[in-house]
Amino acid sequence: MKLLTQEILHQFYVTGVQEDSPDPLVIAKFFCPWNQWTWYATEYHPSSRTFFGITVWFETERWYFALDELESVQWPWWLTIERDLFFKPTKLSELSLSSVLMH
């Protein structure tokens, strides 16, 4: 599965930097199908191929994560990190994890 499409890249470009926003727009959601790890991307930096957003795994936090790392994960056998095809850009405050991250 392609994690980034031209449409998603365009949305990141239009939205711009949101790192300091108290209620950023989450553009894309990635998940690990064999556990509950999830990445919510609010920014993408093409020069470094990194995202800024919310990571949900052992703890929920705002953090940077790399496209190359998401694309390199494969376990077991054929399973890879996937993009939620049904996710639509959503304000952080509208997601169930918002109470953990909103200050």
**Within a domain: 101:** no
What one-character DSSP code corresponds to residue 47?
Answer: T
Q: How far is CA 13 from CA 17, 54, 68, 86, 90, in A?
A: 9, 18, 19, 20, 16
Q: How many domains, in total, are found in the chain?
A: 1
Distance CA 85, CA 64 (A): 22
Residue 75 domain boundaries: 6-95
Task: Assess whether pLDDT exceeds 50 at residue 89.
Answer: yes
**Within a domain: 15:** yes
End-to-end CA distance of the chain: 35
**Within a domain: 65:** yes
Distance CA 54, CA 71 (A): 18
Q: Write out pLDDT tens, residues 1-51.
A: 899 999 999 999 999 999 889 999 999 999 998 888 999 999 999 999 999
Structure tokens at 80: 């890879």
The pTM for the full model equals 0.89
**Within a domain: 1:** no
